[in-house]
Structure 1
Amino acid sequence: MRVTLLGTGDTTGTPTVGCDCATCERARERGVERSRFSVHVENERTGECLLIDASPDFRHQFQATGADLPDAAVITHIHFDHLDGLGNFYRLLDDLPVHAASEVDPFTGESVADSVRERYDYLDVVEVFGQEPLTTFAACGFELTLVPVDHPPMACYGLVVEDPETGAKLSLSGDTSYDIPEASRDALRDPDLLLADAIVPASLAPKHPMGGSDVVDGVPMTFGTKHMTREGAIRLGDDLDADETRLVHVAHYYPPTEAFAEPLAVDGEVYEL
């Protein structure tokens, strides 16, 4: 299993357009990017490729990395920075199976699968398949499981990707607070690689209108209510016994002295599991 981090940033990315903050300037100086979130997983046994979330930065990401076009995709939730790249498949592929959760989101009144299907009903290449959360399904020679996480007010899912032949396991937290349900934690547990949402360091929680939450030993594991802090994501990796944890969905609000320190990821990183 070869995992390529196509996009490791939050909704505006780093450097953010029009921003001259010290962190964005440092990113430009270093020649690194954190574009909107997306992950490419290649099954080296079968030659198939899976796309996890479809970033609006799709074209740039695939050009920059040379990643092969996907044979299937998974969408974790319907925020634009995880979804709107699907429109890029026009004239690139004849068909793209897209998997998403089938349970109805009380906030939107429809499932993620139905929302994707409705939004891209004009795009013949996209065929949406609803999948029941916490139930394993197959794609690209992998065993996949969508797991409910906590990203209020709408439904959002993490993902487990396992190779049944090699035993390699990739877990993604999805966009979430630290308050991930126990059943989902059980499914995510013991990965070779965990990609964990870590939008800002805990030190910035007082700047959020809702502060921080899920406080452990005086440190907020969640920034506001929707995303983990750096400290929460690292703790989640420890909770799940991850062999390696990389922090993604990172905002440009990290101080420049911390923004490129381990274990924060940048675009283009590749992992062989």
Structure 2
Amino acid sequence: MPRLRFLGTGTSTGVPQIGCHCEVCCSTDLCDKRLRTSAMLSLDNGAHILIDCGPDFRQQMLRWPYDKIDAALITHEHYDHVGGIDDLRPFSFRKSIDVYTNERCAHNLKQRIPYCFAEKKYPGVPNISLHGLSELKPFCVAGVEVVPIEVLHDQLPIWGYRIGSMAYITDMSSMSSDEMLKLDGVKLLVINALRHTLHHSHQSLSQALQVIDKANAQTAYLVHMSHEMGLHAIVDKSLPPHVHLAYDGLEVEW
């Protein structure tokens, strides 16, 4: 049975947010401590697929005993989702790591960390095989089919991913009806919800709940949350029975 571990569930500033003294940032509940959003998918064939690789990646990997990463799926090029790519290096000593994303994001990564893709690489840099995909067609990663889902992050087209009966979407503000069809029959839906009030480039809690209802997901977990979402212990109890706030370290099966 496949498993998904939430490595981080926070927004770009993380929680606690530096300099903030609200009740969430001062909470001693570990569920209110949120590193930048990322996840690890563990397949029945033993493969591990990383979803996003943010600036907290090294800290996240020190917490959990993953000794290999077979591939990575990147949703978009914003720093809180790619800032840890250099730290893939210890996982790439034995073999290259395939990294998949859309064509625009791949181009951005080559400009941001060119030493990883130079013809003559400096010894010790991450051994990455970057795949910039130009079409929204299914592709194979580590023996499973991955279906890209294009959503909007304000005006920026970014990718979510569906693998089997699980779909993972973060940083979404809106989604077309055609892409919504890709969520048909999903058992586990991971989706972003920044806070209770509206935001120009991220879903609010109420907007995320509407998408979950439209998708008719059996179970849903919310990620990419700011301190404005509120205390985990309180907000989680207020949600529908099949919807939960994810928290760092949580592992789920479906």
**Superposition TM-score tier, normalisation by shorter sequence:** 0.7 to 0.9
Contact 2:54 2:83 in 1 (8 A): yes
CA distance in 2, matches of 1:69, 1:241: 34
Aligned residues: 235
Supply the AA of the counterpart residue of 1:116: L
Q: How does 1:1-273 map to 2 (within 5 A)?
A: 1-26=2-27, 29-32=28-31, 33-44=33-44, 46-94=45-93, 95-102=96-103, 111-123=104-116, 124-162=126-164, 169-177=165-173, 179-201=174-196, 205=197, 223-256=198-231, 258-259=234-235, 261=237, 262=239, 263-273=244-254
- Contact 1:157/1:175 (<8 A) preserved: no
Q: CA deviation at 1:258?
A: 4.2
Question: Post-superposition shift, 1:97?
Answer: 0.9
Contact 1:42/1:50 (<8 A) preserved: yes
Distance 1:189 1:173, change over 3 A: farther
Q: CA RMSD in A?
A: 1.7
Structure 1 residues 125 and 18: CA distance shift in structure 2, 3 A = same
- Provide the C-alpha distance between the structure 1 equivalents of 2:149 and 2:135, rounded to a whole number of angstroms: 6
Say if 1:229 and 1:54 are closer, same or farther in 2 by CA, change over 3 A: same
For normalisation by structure 2, the TM-score amounts to 0.86
Amino acid at match of 1:81: D
- Structure 1 position 66, deviation (Å): 2.5
Please tell me whether the aligned partners of residues 43 and 141 of structure 1 are also in contact (alpha carbons under 8 angstroms): no
Q: Partners in 2 of 1:31 and 1:59 — Cα distance?
A: 19
Distance 1:66 1:21 in 2: 33
Q: Once the 2 structures are TM-superposed, how far is the Cα of residue 68 of structure 1 from its aligned partner?
A: 4.1
**SS at the partner of 1:3?**
strand
CA contact (8 A) 2:75 2:101 kept: yes
Unaligned residue ranges in structure 1 (runs of 5+): 103-110, 163-168, 206-222
Q: Percent identity at matched positions?
A: 28
Q: Relative to structure 1, is the Cα distance of residues 116 and 189 closer, same or farther in structure 2, using a 3 angstrom cutoff? A: farther
SS in 2 for 1:233: helix
The amino acid of 1:180's aligned partner reads: M
Cα distance in structure 2, aligned partners of 1:144 and 1:195: 15
Deviant stretches of 4+, over 4 Å = 257-262
Q: Which amino acid in structure 2 is aligned with residue 86 of structure 1?
A: I
CA distance in 1, matches of 2:170, 2:229: 20
Partner AA of 1:189 in structure 2: D
Distance 1:133 1:21, change over 3 A: farther
Task: Give the drift of 1:18.
Answer: 3.2
> What SS is found at the alignment partner of 1:99?
strand
Using the alignment, how far apart are the partners of 2:56 and 2:230 within structure 1?
A: 24
